[in-house]
Amino acid sequence: MANNKILFVTSEAYPLIKTGGLGDVAGSLPVALKAQRNDIRIIMPAYRDAMRKAEKLGFASFHMEGVPETVRLLEGRLPGTTVKLLLVDSPVHFDRPGGPYAAPDGHDWGDNAERFATFARVVSAVALNKAGLDWQPDIVHCNDWQSGLVPALLSQHPNRPATIFTIHNLAYHGHFDSSKFQSLHLPHFLWGMQGLEFHHGLSFIKGGLVFADMINTVSPTYAEEIRTPHFGYGLDGLLNHRADRLVGILNGVDYKQWNPANDLYLKHHFDSHKLDGKAKNKDELQKQFGLSQQADTPLLGLVGRLVEQKGIDLVLDIIPQLMELDVQLVVLGTGAKTFQAKLEAAAAKYPQQIAVHIGFSEAMAHQIEAGADMFLMPSRFEPCGLNQIYSLCYGTVPIVRHTGGLADTVIDANEENIKLGQASGFHFEHASAHELLPACQRAISTYRQQPKLWKKIITTGMKQDFSWKQSAKHYLELYQTAQQLRGKHS
Ligand code: ADP
Ligand code: GLC
């Protein structure tokens, strides 16, 4: 079985570069696929930071068909793994300070269309074995809009590999002015509503959604949701048209990185049988963030991109009521300036109870997951969400909105689920502060008044298996289907 040749196309991969969950997925799913005897290579832009961190980097190729001579291909290893890594080295596009998509001032790079079109051209050359590597994949697995042009560019080639497009977040389209279509010299047949055109502009994500042989998203519930106008961002019609090619596969956890029993970022380790280390991490966290060190005060954590998707405004709306409940809140995140400012103002108003760190820190993310009692994730939509899964693994009870991957991973502590011994967190239905508050109240009163039940909820979450093994198998099935349907219209 297995033994597929897979080219995994991504714009970020932990530990080379990461802005969110895609980085985690690209840093771990390929490892799981390799463990199931597949020949997999990750291909990613050669960002300055990624070049510094990649292992055993050497030149792989200088001349690729259809690619400017200024672009080279480097080959190395994803650090800490045996997975081969290809880096697309176009210095004018990728050798700069800042993030993969945005400049240090937070604004998107003005040449993102050129950057990711160049990336897609190189990926296509590799996919067609025209990059001098003497290797042709059977499968090209693309992720999000940054690799959306790949299935489009490959679509007309008779000997092309099968293509998969994974939607990690439908809200980000890679939408550019229509003039870019000309200036990027994209083939004419790709224009139009049956192609890359979207609201008179050029949409990179449509390249994946229209042309990939199979499409998936990262949870079964989100796969259903995106076929409705509310979650579809104008693409629900297209997704319904391709419904026979769309499936949901839940993300997994890389237990080498996220395991409270041996987490490198923690001073105290613990597991579901020995929870005292968790209390010590709470104490450390309170100390580190300058909160009063009270063992019995419920401590709520939040880590994430501070954007509308994550429902940060709902949390801000209930801060006065939460503070009256005598709880503490630790927030780590970066994102919209207004959310940052409001969170910092709240921390200034309640210095004993609220601590906010604006920035990106892998260490702090782990320490909050380990030290908090509860984790807030009131997302408006959530394709999968990894933070609530990490919370479950770390005995930090998630309070989540019933949507997408949150609904698929956290089981609400209602009477029935408690009786069944399945409850692992607290749900609320609608994206409103009026519903978030009662969910928090339920969690806080369970914590205070029913310690035995609380412990059961914690250990139920900790005992779940979120390893990649199962999901990797589903991806292999998806690859097989894509190969069978390659080039057939849906
Ligand atoms: P999304 O991909 O929508 O951002 P996920 O929950 O899938 O949401 O994944 C977020 C990932 O990014 C997690 O690994 C989380 O710990 C990490 N993360 C988000 N913001 C920060 C931050 N400010 N510092 C450190 N890690 C962060
Ligand atoms: C996206 C989604 C998140 C998902 C992650 C990895 O950024 O917002 O829900 O977990 O991708 O698939």
Q: Are residues 298 and 190 in the same domain?
A: no
Is residue 230 situated within a structural domain?
Answer: yes
Helices 112-127 and 204-211, axial angle in degrees (round to 10) = 30
Whole-number Å distance, alpha carbon 405 to ligand 2 midpoint, is 9
The atom number, within ligand 1, closest to the CA of 14 reads 14
Residue 266 in tokens: 């923690």
Asked if residue 367 has pLDDT above 70, the reply is: yes
Pocket of ligand 2 (CB under 6 A): 20-22, 25, 168-169, 218, 251, 382-386, 405
pTM: 0.97
Q: Are residues 358 and 237 in the same domain?
A: no
Which residue out of 24, 368, 396 has the highest number of ligand 1 atoms within 8 Å of its CB and is therefore the one to mutate? Answer: 24
| Ligand showing the shortest atom-to-Cα distance for residue 330 | 1
Q: Are residues 124 and 146 in the same domain?
A: yes
* Contact between 413 and 486 (Cβ < 8 Å): no
Apex 386 CA angle, 250 and 338, nearest 5: 130
Residue 1 in tokens: 């079985």
| Ligand showing the shortest atom-to-Cα distance for residue 14 | 1
Q: Are residues 367 and 453 in the same domain?
A: yes
What is the mean pLDDT of the segment spanning 178-198?
Answer: 97
Average pLDDT, whole number, for the chain?
97
The atom number, within ligand 2, closest to the CA of 404 reads 9
What pLDDT does residue 1 have?
55
What pLDDT does residue 60 have?
86
How far apart (Å, rounded) are the C-alpha atoms in residues 232 and 236? 4
How far apart (Å, rounded) are the C-alpha atoms in residues 364 and 55? 25
User: 3-state class of 411 per DSSP?
Assistant: coil
Q: Are residues 302 and 327 in the same domain?
A: yes
Q: Are residues 158 and 297 in the same domain?
A: no
Q: Are residues 375 and 477 in the same domain?
A: no
The atom number, within ligand 2, closest to the CA of 22 reads 6
Asked if residue 15 has pLDDT above 90, the reply is: yes
Whole-number Å distance, alpha carbon 12 to ligand 1 midpoint, is 13
How far apart (Å, rounded) are the C-alpha atoms in residues 393 and 150? 36
Asked if residue 488 has pLDDT above 90, the reply is: no
Apex 306 CA angle, 305 and 308, nearest 5: 110
Looking at 308-406, which runs of residues are DSSP E strands?
328-335, 354-358, 374-377, 397-401
Residue identifier of the C-alpha nearest atom 10 of ligand 2 = 385
Q: Which residues contact 446 (CB under 8 A, 6 or more apart)?
A: 413, 453, 454, 457
The continuous run of DSSP H or E covering 199 comes out as: none
Apex 284 CA angle, 280 and 286, nearest 5: 115
Is residue 262 situated within a structural domain?
Answer: no
Q: Are residues 175 and 291 in the same domain?
A: no
Determine phi and psi for 388, rounding to 5 degrees. Answer: -70, -30
Q: Are residues 68 and 173 in the same domain?
A: yes
Helices 451-462 and 433-449, axial angle in degrees (round to 10) = 110
The atom number, within ligand 2, closest to the CA of 20 reads 7
* Contact between 88 and 44 (Cβ < 8 Å): yes
* Contact between 436 and 400 (Cβ < 8 Å): no
The atom number, within ligand 1, closest to the CA of 382 reads 3
Q: Are residues 281 and 224 in the same domain?
A: no
What pLDDT does residue 377 have?
98
Determine phi and psi for 346, rounding to 5 degrees. Answer: -65, -40
Residue 335 in tokens: 């994102």
How far apart (Å, rounded) are the C-alpha atoms in residues 427 and 406? 9
Is residue 137 situated within a structural domain?
Answer: yes
What is the mean pLDDT of the segment spanning 430-447?
Answer: 98
The atom number, within ligand 1, closest to the CA of 251 reads 7
Q: Residues, the chain, total?
A: 490
What pLDDT does residue 306 have?
97
What is the mean pLDDT of the segment spanning 122-149?
Answer: 97
How far apart (Å, rounded) are the C-alpha atoms in residues 59 and 74? 4
Pairing of strands 39-45, 55-61: unpaired
Whole-number Å distance, alpha carbon 306 to ligand 1 midpoint, is 10
Cα dihedral 340, 378, 171, 116, rounded to 10, equals 60
Whole-number Å distance, alpha carbon 361 to ligand 1 midpoint, is 10
How far apart (Å, rounded) are the C-alpha atoms in residues 415 and 417? 6
CATH of the domain at 454: 3.40.50.2000
Pairing of strands 55-61, 72-77: antiparallel
Which residue out of 360, 369, 400, 403 has the highest number of ligand 1 atoms within 8 Å of its CB and is therefore the one to mutate? Answer: 360
Is residue 263 situated within a structural domain?
Answer: no
Is residue 265 situated within a structural domain?
Answer: no
Burial grade of 172 (CB within 10 A; 0-12, 13-18, 19 or more): middle
Q: Are residues 403 and 428 in the same domain?
A: yes
Identify the band that residue 144 occupies on the pLDDT scale cut at 50, 70 and 90: very high
Which residue out of 141, 145, 146, 218 has the highest number of ligand 2 atoms within 8 Å of its CB and is therefore the one to mutate? Answer: 218
| Ligand showing the shortest atom-to-Cα distance for residue 171 | 2
Q: In what order do the strands lie in the sheet containing 197-198?
A: 175-176, 201-203, 197-198
Asked if residue 61 has pLDDT above 90, the reply is: no
DSSP states along 280-330: HHHHHHHHHTT----TTS-EEEEEEEESGGGTHHHHHHTHHHHHHTT-EEE
How far apart (Å, rounded) are the C-alpha atoms in residues 89 and 48? 10
* Contact between 425 and 397 (Cβ < 8 Å): yes
Whole-number Å distance, alpha carbon 34 to ligand 2 midpoint, is 22
Asked if residue 2 has pLDDT above 70, the reply is: no
How far apart (Å, rounded) are the C-alpha atoms in residues 358 and 14? 20
Could you read off the pLDDT of 389-422 as tens digits, one per residue? 999 999 999 999 999 999 999 999 999 999 999 9
- Output the CA–CA distances (angstroms, integers) from residue 257 to 124, 236, 266, 284, 374, in the order listed: 32, 35, 11, 20, 20
What pLDDT does residue 489 have?
77
Identify the band that residue 474 occupies on the pLDDT scale cut at 50, 70 and 90: very high
Asked if residue 236 has pLDDT above 60, the reply is: yes
Q: Are residues 24 and 140 in the same domain?
A: yes
Could you read off the pLDDT of 307-359 as tens digits, one per residue? 999 999 999 999 999 999 999 999 999 999 999 999 999 999 999 999 999 99
Domain count, the chain: 2
Pocket of ligand 1 (CB under 6 A): 20-21, 24, 303-305, 332-334, 360-362, 365, 384-387
Is residue 241 situated within a structural domain?
Answer: yes
Which residue out of 18, 22, 305, 380 has the highest number of ligand 1 atoms within 8 Å of its CB and is therefore the one to mutate? Answer: 305
Asked if residue 115 has pLDDT above 70, the reply is: yes
Domain enclosing residue 184, as ranges: 5-252+469-485
Is residue 261 situated within a structural domain?
Answer: no
Could you read off the pLDDT of 150-162 as tens digits, one per residue? 999 999 999 999 9
How far apart (Å, rounded) are the C-alpha atoms in residues 466 and 393? 9
Radius of gyration of the chain (CA): 23
Q: In what order do the strands lie in the sheet containing 139-143?
A: 55-61, 72-77, 84-89, 39-45, 5-9, 139-143, 162-167, 214-217, 246-248
Whole-number Å distance, alpha carbon 427 to ligand 2 midpoint, is 19
Is residue 34 situated within a structural domain?
Answer: yes
Among 71, 107, 75, which residue's Cα sits nearest to residue 90?
71
What pLDDT does residue 453 have?
98
How far apart (Å, rounded) are the C-alpha atoms in residues 7 and 85? 10
Whole-number Å distance, alpha carbon 161 to ligand 1 midpoint, is 32
